[in-house]
């Protein structure tokens, strides 16, 4: 292995023409008796060492020669760096003993050894092993190049830039304030996402370095194919906010325009009596220039600070555009610029392994009925409304929180549980959002997960939050629900049952039974309610209370409901042909079915295809359905009534009906819930509610039927109250179509006898 230190050939190689801006000679920083710059090459490839020393060995940089220190592994470099002093630049290979040996060595240099002055340039022959953005930000990496792109002139340029930066940093070591501010500024800038934020951060940091109020503009010089020069405003601070996202011209502000053009022409910083303009050399004819108002002229040390700052920022402005475009597209929502689902999962994964996990909560924020607003007022208005929501979540919940947009109208808030809670978040929606001079009132539903109670990855956390959100939606809008482990078990059971239900429907395990409805005066059957049943191959029955909600949740209820309707209609036709000509058939309709856009068409087609007489078909809807969006329901029921079928409200008395709407619904019958029938003989208040429903039906001209009648005493009281119809185990249990035909025939024979 070659010796670790290579002395310089004193000869100069002038084949490459490099012209640097004229500077005042710097006071040499000597290493022992040698007035040189010390450059450490850390690479496991000996050819890299020889080609680098050959390319740079006989060149002069900043009035000094170079001296090389060689290390052929990260381990050897660690040992040398403990004793070697005044290393100005480190040319570091990313991939050595391990794929990330270079990055680990950077951490060692910056954190363990505390070497903050040395400039680090990462090189790799494998472009896929690029340093992470966090590593560049945290460890002050000055540049990153692939070995293939480092031609002699580019290597010289890169090392010269790094040495100039090192020299300037060393010269201002006496100014702790300045050095601290530059490190702080670089860290702050690298933590910003997006070109606009980075550019705005540059302006803010310049103002902070000068200790003055921020007032300025940062532009990029665009030279399109037509040859025109344009100064495009990238960011503003202070009173120049009106210049944002525009082209700066003489008409915009001649003073600023002329000052920037002068700076670009001279390719250097210009310090005026009440302003400064800073030059950032870019690539591909895209130079950057900043203009800032100043109350006092900068001192010599201020100017040197700004030189260092500009040297660092020039590289950053170039790279941030490319990195930002790629990074933004992959990790940020295009509309709101908030982290998207992919970025949020990264943040969640990091949080789950951090000490703050136990104090952190994740909340999904789903805007209620946003689709209706978007459809009614247009997508441009909807986008503006989403941006307003994003802005309020960001500004009013606290800077320490992460706000993301998962798509559509769903946002996400992640942070300390004391801030991320239903009270804080839902309070934000109590005030309307002002969009284009129009106030829009929104509400939101929340699904929350406490990370302390969670096991799994960031993806799993999001799934659990979504489960909680769906649970919250089933309860009420503008509500919230916290995820629990039992919910995870429940959702897995729901998915299992959903697949089993689809399979059962396809294999004819589902069937319809009919429970007779009886005239309490004559005790003769007047109709039947069609009920869906599921019997598994092993003979066990699955309760409708379990599988009907699953069918509604999965959307299978649409096909199931149509099948039940057609089956019941065909049975009605059969019964009428058998001589039961005044027999009614009641069929339950779920809310999901009823809201389907083709429900009315499906109903008409079923009546037409089966030949069922509509005047003997009754649809049962629940009271909660009747009271939700009643104006839409009134219109829908009117269209249904035109088909000739009648409407009954099932489970009446369990909800909170508005009598004014009840009169407008054009319904035909009220059905007393079985809970109130049971109270007739089993509760202190007895028949009070049942009596009220019967009286209400009489006053509104509606028929009334009671369900769940199980003993004769209940039947007698209901009859005495004036309830005309009833169904329940006292009269008959639900039965198959064949059993119903036989039962009705027996009833007819008994009636004839």
Structure tokens at 28: 């040499």
* Domain end (from 286, 302, 331): 331
Q: Rounded to 5 degrees, what are φ and ψ at 5? A: -120, 130
642 and 692 fall within a common domain: yes
CA geometry: angle at 143 spanning 140 and 148, to 5°?
150
pLDDT tens-place string over residues 339-358: 999 889 999 999 999 999 99
Q: Which of 588-597, 655-664, 692-701, 732-741 has the lowest mean pLDDT?
A: 655-664
Which CATH number is 739's domain given? 3.20.20.450
308 and 402 fall within a common domain: no
- In the predicted model, is pLDDT for residue 7 greater than 70? no
Q: How far is CA 574 from the centre of its chain?
A: 55
Task: Note the pLDDT of residue 606.
Answer: 96
Averaged pLDDT score across all residues of the chain:
83
Average pLDDT over residues 294-305: 82
Decide which of 259 and 210 is more confident.
Answer: 259
Report yes or no on 64 lying in a domain. yes
CB 217 within 8 A of CB 208: no
Which CATH number is 101's domain given? 3.40.50.2300
Tokens 């009546």 correspond to: 607
Distance (Å, whole) CA 344 – CA 325? 18
Which CATH number is 313's domain given? 3.30.450.40
pLDDT tens-place string over residues 34-62: 588 999 999 998 988 998 898 888 888 87
Task: Note the pLDDT of residue 208.
Answer: 81
Decide which of 119 and 11 is more confident.
Answer: 119
Structure tokens at 386: 């989403």
Average pLDDT over residues 641-655: 84
158 and 177 fall within a common domain: no
461 and 439 fall within a common domain: yes
Task: Note the pLDDT of residue 749.
Answer: 58
What is the DSSP secondary structure assignment for residue 335, as one 8-state letter? Answer: T
* Domain end (from 171, 197, 231): 171
Residues 6+ positions from 550 with CB-CB distance below 8 Å: 494, 497, 498, 501, 556
Task: Note the pLDDT of residue 439.
Answer: 87
Task: Note the pLDDT of residue 91.
Answer: 93
Tell me, letter by letter, the H, E, C secondary structure of 292-332. Answer: EECCCCCCHHHHHHHHHHHHHHHHHHHHHHHHHHHHHHHHE
Q: How far is CA 375 from the centre of its chain?
A: 22
Question: Taking Cα atoms as reference points, which of 592, 591, 619 lies closest to residue 604?
Answer: 619
Q: How far is CA 76 from the centre of its chain?
A: 46
Task: Note the pLDDT of residue 276.
Answer: 92
* Domain end (from 150, 171, 192): 171
Confidence label for 655 from pLDDT (cuts 50, 70 and 90): low
Tell me how long the chain is. 753
Residue 627: Cβ within 10 Å count? 17
pLDDT tens-place string over residues 490-546: 677 778 888 999 999 999 899 999 999 999 999 999 999 999 999 998 989 999 988
167 and 178 fall within a common domain: no
Question: Taking Cα atoms as reference points, which of 14, 110, 118, 104 lies closest to residue 69?
Answer: 118
pTM of the model: 0.46
**Helical axes 195-210 vs 300-331, angle rounded to 10°:** 160
Confidence label for 15 from pLDDT (cuts 50, 70 and 90): very low
Report yes or no on 502 lying in a domain. no
Residues 6+ positions from 251 with CB-CB distance below 8 Å: none
Report yes or no on 308 lying in a domain. yes
CB 561 within 8 A of CB 593: yes
- Which residue range forms the structural domain that includes residue 90? 1-171
Average pLDDT over residues 674-689: 79
Decide which of 304 and 707 is more confident.
Answer: 707
CA geometry: angle at 691 spanning 685 and 697, to 5°?
150
Confidence label for 101 from pLDDT (cuts 50, 70 and 90): confident
Task: Note the pLDDT of residue 145.
Answer: 77
Task: Note the pLDDT of residue 26.
Answer: 39
Task: Note the pLDDT of residue 23.
Answer: 36
Which CATH number is 416's domain given? 3.30.70.270
Confidence label for 189 from pLDDT (cuts 50, 70 and 90): low
- In the predicted model, is pLDDT for residue 172 greater than 80? no
323 and 347 fall within a common domain: no
307 and 235 fall within a common domain: yes
- The domain total for the chain is 4
98 and 234 fall within a common domain: no
Task: Note the pLDDT of residue 601.
Answer: 94
181 and 79 fall within a common domain: no
Strand-pairing partners, residue 5, are 69
Task: Note the pLDDT of residue 13.
Answer: 40
Task: Note the pLDDT of residue 685.
Answer: 63
pLDDT tens-place string over residues 444-475: 999 999 998 877 889 889 988 988 898 888 77
Tokens 């002038």 correspond to: 14
pLDDT tens-place string over residues 356-365: 999 999 999 9
Report yes or no on 494 lying in a domain. no
Task: Note the pLDDT of residue 30.
Answer: 44
Distance (Å, whole) CA 394 – CA 403? 6
R_g over Cα of the chain: 39
605 and 695 fall within a common domain: yes
Residue 424: is it exposed, middle or buried by C-beta count within 10 angstroms (0-12/13-18/19+)?
Answer: middle
543 and 479 fall within a common domain: no
- In the predicted model, is pLDDT for residue 194 greater than 60? no
- In the predicted model, is pLDDT for residue 702 greater than 80? yes
Specify the pairing of strand 288-293 against strand 275-280: antiparallel
Structure tokens at 398: 């606290």
562 and 459 fall within a common domain: no
Task: Note the pLDDT of residue 721.
Answer: 93
**Helical axes 557-577 vs 485-506, angle rounded to 10°:** 40
Distance (Å, whole) CA 13 – CA 433? 67
Task: Note the pLDDT of residue 182.
Answer: 60
Task: Note the pLDDT of residue 334.
Answer: 84
Report yes or no on 492 lying in a domain. no
CA count, 13 A, side-chain hemisphere, 690: 33
What is the DSSP secondary structure assignment for residue 72, as one 8-state letter? Answer: S
Report yes or no on 497 lying in a domain. no
Question: Taking Cα atoms as reference points, which of 144, 209, 162, 147 lies closest to residue 182?
Answer: 209
> Listing from the earlier edge strand, what are the strands of the sheet with 444-450?
402-407, 410-416, 360-367, 444-450, 480-482
Distance (Å, whole) CA 482 – CA 348? 17
Report yes or no on 67 lying in a domain. yes
Report yes or no on 12 lying in a domain. yes
């Amino acid at each position: 292995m070659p010796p670790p230190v290579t002395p310089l050939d004193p000869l100069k190689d002038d084949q490459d023409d490099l012209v640097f801006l004229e500077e005042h000679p710097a006071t040499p920083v000597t290493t022992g008796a040698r007035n040189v710059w010390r450059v450490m090459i850390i690479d496991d490839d000996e050819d890299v060492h020889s080609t680098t020393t050959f390319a740079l060995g006989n060149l002069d940089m900043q009035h000094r020669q170079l001296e090389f220190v060689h290390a052929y592994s990260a381990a050897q470099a660690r040992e040398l760096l403990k004793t070697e002093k005044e290393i100005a630049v480190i040319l570091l290979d990313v991939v050595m003993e391990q794929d990330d040996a270079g990055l680990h060595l950077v951490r060692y240099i910056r954190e363990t050894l505390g070497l903050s002055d040395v400039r680090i340039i990462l090189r790799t022959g494998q472009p896929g092993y690029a340093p992470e953005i966090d590593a560049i930000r945290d460890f002050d990496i000055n540049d990153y190049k692939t070995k293939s792109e480092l031609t002699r002139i580019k290597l010289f340029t890169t090392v010269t830039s790094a040495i100039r930066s090192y020299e300037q940093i060393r010269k201002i070591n006496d100014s702790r304030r300045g050095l601290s501010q530059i490190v702080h500024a670089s860290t702050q800038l690298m933590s910003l996402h997006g070109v606009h934020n980075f550019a705005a951060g540059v302006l803010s940091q310049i103002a902070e370095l000068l200790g003055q109020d921020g007032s300025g503009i940062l532009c990029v010089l665009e030279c399109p194919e037509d040859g025109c020069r344009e100064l495009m405003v990238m960011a503003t601070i202070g009173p120049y906010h009106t210049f944002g996202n525009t082209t700066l011209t003489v008409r915009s502000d001649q003073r600023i325009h002329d000052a920037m053009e002068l700076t670009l022409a001279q390719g250097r910083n210009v310090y005026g009596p009440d302003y400064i303009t800073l030059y950032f050399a870019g690539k591909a004819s895209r130079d950057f220039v900043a203009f800032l108002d100043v109350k006092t002229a900068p001192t010599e040390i201020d100017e040197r600070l700004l030189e260092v700052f500009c040297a660092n920022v020039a590289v950053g402005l170039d790279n941030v555009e490319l990195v930002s475009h790629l990074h933004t597209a992959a990790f940020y929502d295009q509309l709101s610029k908030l982290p998207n689902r992919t970025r949020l999962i990264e943040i969640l994964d990091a949080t789950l392994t951090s000490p703050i996990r136990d104090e952190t909560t994740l909340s999904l924020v789903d805007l209620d009925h946003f689709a209706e607003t978007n459809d009614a007022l247009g997508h441009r208005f909807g986008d503006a409304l989403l941006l307003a929501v994003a802005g309020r979540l960001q500004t009013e919940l606290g800077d320490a929180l992460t706000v993301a947009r998962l798509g559509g109208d769903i946002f996400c808030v992640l942070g300390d549980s004391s801030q991320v809670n239903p009270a804080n978040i839902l309070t934000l929606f109590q005030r309307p959002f002002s969009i284009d001079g129009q106030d829009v009132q929104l509400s939101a539903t929340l699904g929350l997960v406490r990370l302390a109670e969670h096991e799994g990855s960031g993806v799993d956390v999001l799934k659990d939050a979504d489960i909680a959100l769906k649970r919250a939606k089933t309860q009420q809008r503008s509500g919230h629900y916290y995820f629990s482990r039992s919910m995870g078990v429940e959702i897995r059971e729901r998915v299992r049952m959903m697949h089993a239900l689809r399979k059962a429907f396809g294999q004819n395990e589902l069937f319809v039974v009919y429970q007779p409805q009886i005239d309490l005066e004559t005790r003769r059957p007047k109709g039947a309610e069609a009920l869906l049943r599921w019997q598994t191959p092993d003979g066990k029955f699955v309760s409708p209370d379990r599988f009907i909600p699953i069918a509604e949740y999965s959307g299978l209820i649409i096909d199931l409901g149509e099948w039940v309707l057609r089956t019941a209609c065909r049975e009605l036709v059969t019964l009428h042909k058998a001589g039961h000509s005044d027999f009614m058939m009641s069929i339950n309709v779920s809310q999901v079915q009823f809201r389907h856009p083709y429900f009315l068409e499906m109903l008409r087609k079923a009546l037409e295809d089966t030949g069922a007489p509509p005047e003997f078909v009754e649809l049962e809807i629940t009271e909660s359905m009747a009271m939700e969006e009643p104006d839409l329901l009134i219109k829908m029921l009117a269209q249904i009534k035109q088909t000739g079928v009648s409407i009954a409200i099932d489970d009446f008395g369990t909800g909170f009906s508005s009598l004014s709407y009840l009169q407008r619904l054009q319904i035909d019958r009220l059905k007393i819930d079985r809970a109130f029938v049971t109270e007739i003989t089993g509760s202190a208040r007895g028949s009070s509610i049942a009596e009220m429903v019967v009286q209400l039906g009489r006053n509104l001209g509606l028929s009334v039927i009671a369900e769940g009648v199980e003993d004769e005493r209940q039947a007698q009281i209901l009859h005495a109250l004036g309830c005309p119809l009833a169904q329940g185990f006292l009269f008959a249990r639900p039965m198959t179509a064949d059993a119903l035909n036989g039962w009705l025939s027996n009833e007819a024979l008994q009636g004839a006898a």
